[in-house]
A and B are shown apart, each in its own frame.
Chain A
Amino acid sequence: MIGLILPAADFVAPKIEYTELMPMLVVFGAACVGVITEAFLPRALRHAAQLAITVVAIVVAGVLTGLLINDNKELIAAQGAISVDGPALFTWLILLALTLISVLLFAERSLDGGLSAFASQAAAVPGSEAEREGTAARIEHTEIFPLTLFAVGGMMLFASANDLLVLFVALEVFSLPLYLLCGLARRRRLISQEAAMKYFLLGAFASAFLLFGIALLYGYAGTMSLGGIADALAQDTGAESILLAGTGLIGVGLLFKVGAVPFHSWTPDVYQGAPTPVTGFMAACTKIAAFIGLMRVFYVALGGSRWDWAPMMWVVAILTMVVGSIVAITQTDVKRMLAYSSIAHAGFLLTAFVGLAQAGSGVSNGITSTQAVLFYLVAYGFSTIGAFAVVTLVRDAGGEATHLSRWAGLGKKSPLLAGIFAFFLLSFAGIPLTAGFTGKWAVFSAAWTGGAWPLVVVAVLSSLVAAFFYVRVIVLMFFSDLPTDAPDVALPGWQTTTAVALGLAATVILGLVPGPVLELAARAGEFIR
């Protein structure tokens, strides 16, 4: 109605930088094509078609991102809504690479008698006749591919959102598909559905916190754009309390996605219940997107009030590291253990985040926080997906054998598989000559460079505790006897083999010659406003 009253001449078409946003547009476009394909293509062709669309879209988007990085593009696009800067482009690239590996795992069908890891009919009641019929007819939910594309598109948008509203929209765009994907496990469907439900409810709760925080910050600054909020902070409008409350609430929403203590309680349940390929995807990609989003909001918009929020983040970082590593010791399920390990890793990442090693806070030489975090996320992402891919291979009659006691003596049964998993664990533990060590070194030095050396000491001690439970699994695999009813090691198809091989290669290369990736992360520079 209002549009009718406005004179037509006042309408200016928004300027959209299509070249710079193309990677994201490709992903979203392909997701829409995927949905249409789902409706029109006969069932027999869907799997191949969806896989092709997804892989092509990701590869094209990745190449386009690479070109943008090569051109040193840096600008605020889409009328100030999206910032295409160095860290954003770097994040896009790793998100796309990791998604590609995850999609390969999604497409794996040779592990479970020719069926994928996903339920045939998500709507069928677990254990019912309809479910059996669906399985017998080899029906598959090929919607997982467009859902994944939507999720990764949302993550890309999240990592580059320059406006709190865009940030929120992006959060929902990537969260909703993930809630769905979590509930689609073919085996242990009840746990899977429970995980989806928990994730959804707690996620919605966290979104509400975030939204409320956004509203308060808008009340403080009178604008949603990150740069605008920074300007308002610089002018010191005097509404301190509303700013602090807004900062805290936004922090809760973002730390929930990162999986930091005390907002971590969903992680173990969801990681355990979700289909393992989805867990790998979530553990790697959600963490990356959420972390970059967190850093962007706090560095760009709230950098001026860092002395207000840094103490809070110190506490969160310490809690996350300590709780993550200590509680992991008591876990008896591989997936839950990896979940707690991912919490501990979030804590290590937070040390670099609160270290604030950046030119803006007077650190001129050496490694910056952004560089360290970006590198750590690459190292962590590849190892994590590789580790979860290995978990999909250890199976018995009931599907994956994830209870730790079932992994006893695996080194005897399949030395190669156990060796690879041990290598991933050593990388998580931060043993030198693996990617995990280089990453840890990077974040710890960024933290210390910024003056947060007590955090480094805590981090180092937590690393020791963490090393204990990683080593425990290695002991179990190599130094225990093989039980008679040991689970089988499934022969992986090319998809899983590729995923594991890529994860392994990245973990080795980033451990031995991390130079190029570190340079690339350094070139990404700082967030722009």
Chain B
Amino acid sequence: MKIGWLTLLLLLPFVGALVTMAVPKAKALLSKQVALGFSLVVLVLTAIVAVGYHQNGAEKYNETHTWIKAFGANYALGLDGVGIVLVVLTALLTPVVIIASWNDADNGRWSSKSFFAWILALEALSIGVFSATDVFLFYVLFEATLIPMYFLIGGFGGPQRSYAAVKFLLYSLLGGLLMLASVIGLYVISARAGDPSYLLSDLIKLDMSQNTERWLFLGFFFAFAVKAPMVPFHTWLPDAAGEATPGTSVLLVGILDKIGTFGMIRFCLGLFPNASEWATPVVLVLALISVLYGALVAIGQTDIKRLIAYTSISHFGFIVMGIFALTSQGLTGSTLYMFNHGLSTAALFLVAGYLISRRGSARIADYGGVEKVAPVLAGLFLFAGLSSLALPGLSPFISEFMVLAGTFSNHKVIAVIAVLGIVLAALYILLMYQRTMTGPVRDGIEKLKDLNAREILAIAPLVVLIIGLGIFPKPIVDIIKPAVESTMQRVGVTDKAPEIPVTEGQK
């Protein structure tokens, strides 16, 4: 049997996790090297797949095997523009996190090798989630990602980690179980129409009554809104990200939460286009609240990690807004935003993690004048912060601009209010920078060591990409575009013609 590319991407990290666990306890260093090696191989393979996808299209990567015939479930993997971008992000962030967290798990509840094994298991499941083209398979992997994340938070984190882990799990299960009801509903409708099938390509052909479609949509949307997370289902994120190690937080916010917004595009818009259009006003208002509320609460935080978590809630508000603006520009912007947010939040969390591990406290009040003692650390922190507030020239700016422009053409009021989010972003980032990095050197900071080579190495790829994609985002936009267009077609909306047409001369 020929093993498909995506299956390989899915299996390899799993094998890596098992090999990592098999390394004897005494050889902690070896287990880390094994984990890093596997994640790098996965990264290389993903790059090959991405290039192949760009040149030859998605056909080559589709795999479909019957899995559970009675349920109509298939082991079906495939890529589209949105999926490949997130698979690349996953493959990229995993080695970055492994390098950055090299010593973070040494004092955890369990041996450090289990930390790295769980990370690889999470990578495998996430790649599966982003490439599943069967709703049942997607659901199974979606729920399965909770287990590694649960143990990553609960096993290696701050003093309140058990509480945070359980809260994370219960919130996610609540969403997931309501989605299960919708997934079962899809099966019933599919079975009534003929042989049951969970393949996306079969499901989009189904006829649903208006009410059924809306109910099923709500089940899916609720799960994704909890995952994303949107206000008012967001309270688990600050706790989880605040207690987890910085590396875990990166995986949680950078990858796992993207499943929520990814699911909105692929499943809410893809399977329930009419219901999505029906829900647009409420979703947009919730997204707007997330943007503003997340930003306002972030300003008031006293804990660096919780602050970053709240900024993410604000960013996710932008992403959801772009998706449900239902314009191709907004949707493209949101997809790009998912990728860029992964880069900038990873950089911010990791640098903040370096800082916190040196001082042993996450309280903003404990810092001051760091830029005098550790200039490289402070510089990178500023860079990560600026990318998070979408400074022009850095990649998040482009996506945020596209989201706002896309929203503006359909929903002017919402877009105008959302612009406030940018102002608030400048406030929360710069205030945090000012309080921790500038000013007189505080007690306990004098002997702060600057970053070492390993720590810089972990951040370097993120910095390069943030600048590179900030100046030249075309390659990634080209990959996203076709998928966005087919989704738009499915929803049945077309972009409004610009009110001031582009004239020949201006072109």
Could you tell me which A residues sit within 8 Å of B by CB distance?
Answer: 365-367, 371, 412, 426, 431-433, 437-438, 440-442, 444-445, 448-449, 453, 456-457, 460-461, 463-464, 467-468, 471-472, 475, 478-480, 513-515, 518-519, 522
6 contacts between A and B (CB under 8 A): A367-B191, A432-B141, A475-B165, A475-B166, A479-B155, A518-B68
Q: How far is the CA of A378 from the CA of B196 in the complex (A)?
A: 23
Q: How far is the CA of A442 from the CA of B184 in the complex (A)?
A: 9
B147 at interface, CB cutoff 8 A: yes
Contact flag A479-B162 (CB < 8 Å), given A445-B188, A518-B68, A519-B70: yes
Number of interface residues, chain B, beta carbon within 8 A: 38
B173 at interface, CB cutoff 8 A: yes
Chain B residue numbers with a CB within 8 Å of A365 are 191-192, 194-196
Q: Decide if B70 touches A478 in the complex (CB within 8 Å).
A: no
Q: How far is the CA of A471 from the CA of B172 in the complex (A)?
A: 13
Q: Decide if B140 touches A448 in the complex (CB within 8 Å).
A: no
Within 8 A of A (CB), among B115-154: 139-144, 146-147, 151, 154
Measured CB to CB, the nearest residue on chain B to A440 is B180
Measured CB to CB, the nearest residue on chain B to A453 is B185
Per DSSP, chain A at the interface is helix
Q: Decide if B173 touches A464 in the complex (CB within 8 Å).
A: yes
B67 at interface, CB cutoff 8 A: yes
Q: Decide if B154 touches A463 in the complex (CB within 8 Å).
A: no
Q: Decide if B196 touches A366 in the complex (CB within 8 Å).
A: yes
Q: Decide if A460 touches B177 in the complex (CB within 8 Å).
A: yes
Q: Decide if A366 touches B170 in the complex (CB within 8 Å).
A: no
Q: How far is the CA of A441 from the CA of B67 in the complex (A)?
A: 15
Q: Decide if A479 touches B170 in the complex (CB within 8 Å).
A: no
Chain B residue numbers with a CB within 8 Å of A480 are 162
Q: Decide if B69 touches A478 in the complex (CB within 8 Å).
A: no
Measured CB to CB, the nearest residue on chain B to A409 is B109
Could you tell me which B residues sit within 8 Å of A by CB distance?
Answer: 67-71, 109, 139-144, 146-147, 151, 154-155, 161-162, 165-166, 169-170, 173-174, 177-178, 180-181, 184-185, 187-188, 191-192, 194-196
Q: Decide if A371 touches B70 in the complex (CB within 8 Å).
A: yes
Contact flag A456-B144 (CB < 8 Å), given A365-B195, A449-B188, A515-B69: no
Closest 5 CB pairs of A and B: A366-B191, A432-B140, A479-B162, A518-B70, A432-B143
**How far in angstroms is the closest Cβ of chain B from A511?**
9
Measured CB to CB, the nearest residue on chain A to B192 is A365
Q: Decide if B170 touches A468 in the complex (CB within 8 Å).
A: yes
Interface centre among B142, B146, B174, B177 (most CB of A within 10 A): B177
Contact flag A467-B178 (CB < 8 Å), given A365-B195, A515-B67: no
**How far in angstroms is the closest Cβ of chain B from A277?**
30
Q: How far is the CA of A65 from the CA of B184 in the complex (A)?
A: 33
Q: Decide if A449 touches B191 in the complex (CB within 8 Å).
A: yes
- Taking a contact as CB atoms closer than 8 A, the residue among B68, B154, B169, B184 that contacts A514 in the complex is B68
**How far in angstroms is the closest Cβ of chain A from B236?**
14
- Taking a contact as CB atoms closer than 8 A, the residue among A426, A444, A463, A519 that contacts B69 in the complex is A519
**How far in angstroms is the closest Cβ of chain B from A75?**
26
Q: Decide if A460 touches B178 in the complex (CB within 8 Å).
A: yes
18 more CB-based (< 8 A) A-B contacts, given A444-B181, A475-B162 = A366-B192, A432-B142, A432-B144, A433-B140, A437-B140, A445-B187, A448-B184, A448-B187, A449-B191, A467-B169, A468-B170, A471-B166, A475-B154, A475-B165, A479-B154, A479-B162, A513-B68, A518-B71
Q: Decide if B144 touches A478 in the complex (CB within 8 Å).
A: no
Contact flag A431-B143 (CB < 8 Å), given A371-B70, A441-B71, A518-B68: yes
Chain A residue numbers with a CB within 8 Å of B180 are 440-441, 444, 460
Q: Decide if A441 touches B184 in the complex (CB within 8 Å).
A: yes
Contact flag A426-B166 (CB < 8 Å), given A444-B180, A460-B177, A464-B173: no
Q: How far is the CA of A426 from the CA of B151 in the complex (A)?
A: 13
Measured CB to CB, the nearest residue on chain A to B161 is A479
